[in-house]
Amino acid sequence: MTALMNLAIVGSGYVGLVTGTCFAEVGHHVICVDNDLKKVKSLQAGHIPIYEPGLEELVKKNVAEGRLSFTASIGDAVAASKVIFIAVPTPPQPDGSVDLSFVEGVAREIAMHIKEYRVVVDKSTVPVKTGEKVAQTIKRYNPDAPIDVVSNPEFLREGSAVDDLMKPDRIVFGVSSDKATAVMREIYEPFKAPILVTDLNSAELIKHAANSFLALKISYINAVAAICEASGANVERVAEGMGADHRIGRAFLNAGIGYGGSCFPKDISAFIRISRELGYEFTLLEEVEKINFNQKERFLKKIRESLWVLRAKKIGVLGLAFKGNTDDVRSSVAIEVVKQLISEGAEVTAYDPKGMEKALPLVPGCKMAGKAEDVADGADALLVLTEWSEFKTLPYAAMKKRMLSPLLFDGRNLLDPQEMRGLGFTYTGVGH
């Protein structure tokens, strides 16, 4: 039987909140910390600031059962917890590097409160060698602090974060002492997943290398999609044929308008940047970024070519979130497409099942529809920009009747081209 542990998670954003909740769910006692007092109060009152399937129920259950609590005080959390996870944002900077000031600030604050042995675990996605700096920082502000610093990257995907955390493919931690290794094994024992123990720097690199590789797969298939369009081949059949080789795998070979979100764009730039600092020009990843940018441009070009003039054209948009099953619109390609269309004079009406509230301030000129089908009203074209599965089953025949012209641009290859053409749409997908 696993001994349950007292854990603190500093930073109650997507990663921190989901991680803390899942740790509580397997029996640990967890204190989630955030410096945003309003957020802490609202979490204490049972309001979840993000949409993530299954999360709200789990938070409520674990709070009610006394295993999960929220505070704004790092001091209280450090005093009560043997292990402190850092899960604060590492936002991108204009030069491609990441801003590590939140990580550094939390490390300093933790240092001030450490009186006995503590394991400080970095969960935020950070460039290689950050853990070493966290350890140095804590030692600088509290030279006698008995600590071990561990890197424990997170591999959860938004939209399926709870599942990814409860049933992980693997757990990675980078650690330099047997004592901290034992503590980390104890925390993760209830998850019954394969554990890979590495040195600190390798664990940090695993995260950047894994995310960059997934982004590379997406850009690869998007480049193949361009060749498919030029040659009359079908990218979905090509992806199927490639993916059936178990060395390649079908996952992350869905062509579309490109990857977005708070992770891939930032992590790829950060990996290019840290590689350069370490003396290696990772030009392969520069190309991944370029293909991703061009993918959106190629999509916009198809719309311009069909509509000829965008000014005063009514465009209905399905999807604003950076992917399905989330309300997250950070670095969403859908938002970038809408912004571009508006800047060229189009009148855009959009619908997203969860993302409209967060999208509104980013696309001020965009009208939001009450129902998905309403975006078709008087539209010159209809665009699918996010892979929400509920968009697969909309009443497209009825929607077509409400449109001025039957142009349908499917930026996520979500719909069946034959079926849509059968309904009378002029259907354009990606890569076929």
Give 304: exposed, middle or buried? Use CB within 10 Å, 0-12, 13-18, 19+.
Answer: middle
d(CA 209, CA 268): 9
User: Which amino acid is residue 137, in one-letter code?
Assistant: T
By C-beta, is 50 or 372 nearer to ligand UGA?
50
Using the rule CB under 6 A, is 158 a contact of ligand UGA? yes
Contact indicator for 29, 53 with CB cutoff of 8 Å: no
By C-beta, is 122 or 154 nearer to ligand UGA?
154
Nearest approach, Cβ of residue 139 and ligand UGA (Å): 28
Nearest approach, Cβ of residue 313 and ligand UGA (Å): 26
- From 116-124, 184-192, 249-257, 376-384, span contacting ligand UGA (CB under 6 A): 249-257
By C-beta, is 43 or 263 nearer to ligand UGA?
263
d(CA 277, CA 270): 10
**Helix/strand/coil for 30:** strand
User: Which amino acid is residue 371, in one-letter code?
Assistant: K
Residue 263 among the catalytic residues: yes
By C-beta, is 29 or 217 nearer to ligand UGA?
217
Q: Diameter of the chain by CA atoms?
A: 74
Q: Which two tokens stand for residue 346?
A: 């189009």
Using the rule CB under 6 A, is 322 a contact of ligand UGA? yes
Using the rule CB under 6 A, is 411 a contact of ligand UGA? no
- From 107-115, 175-183, 254-262, 271-279, span contacting ligand UGA (CB under 6 A): 254-262
Nearest approach, Cβ of residue 254 and ligand UGA (Å): 3
By C-beta, is 138 or 268 nearer to ligand UGA?
268
By C-beta, is 140 or 290 nearer to ligand UGA?
290
* 9 strand-pairing partners: 32, 85
Nearest approach, Cβ of residue 255 and ligand UGA (Å): 7
**146-157 in b/e burial notation, b at 16+ Cβ within 10 A?**
ebbbbbbbbebe
Using the rule CB under 6 A, is 264 a contact of ligand UGA? yes
Contact indicator for 217, 253 with CB cutoff of 8 Å: yes
Residue with tokens 């590590």: 100
Nearest approach, Cβ of residue 100 and ligand UGA (Å): 16
* 186 strand-pairing partners: none
Q: Which two tokens stand for residue 424?
A: 């009378």
Question: Cα Rg for the chain, rounded, in angstroms?
Answer: 23
Near ligand UGA in 23-82, by CB under 6 A:
none
Residue from the set 11, 89, 168, 261 that interacts with ligand UGA by CB under 6 A: 261
d(CA 349, CA 365): 9
Contact indicator for 351, 318 with CB cutoff of 8 Å: yes
CB atoms within 10 A of CB 119: 25
By C-beta, is 28 or 330 nearer to ligand UGA?
330
Using the rule CB under 6 A, is 259 a contact of ligand UGA? yes
| H or E element at residue 197 | strand 195-198
Instruction: List the x/- string, 364-393, binding to ligand UGA by CB under 6 A.
Output: -----------------------x------
Residue from the set 25, 34, 148, 154 that interacts with ligand UGA by CB under 6 A: 154
- The residue annotated as part of the active site, out of 22, 228, 263, 366, is 263
- Residue ranges in contact with ligand UGA by CB under 6 A: 125, 154-158, 211, 214, 218, 252-254, 256, 259-261, 263-264, 322-323, 387
Query: Which residues are designated catalytic?
Result: 263
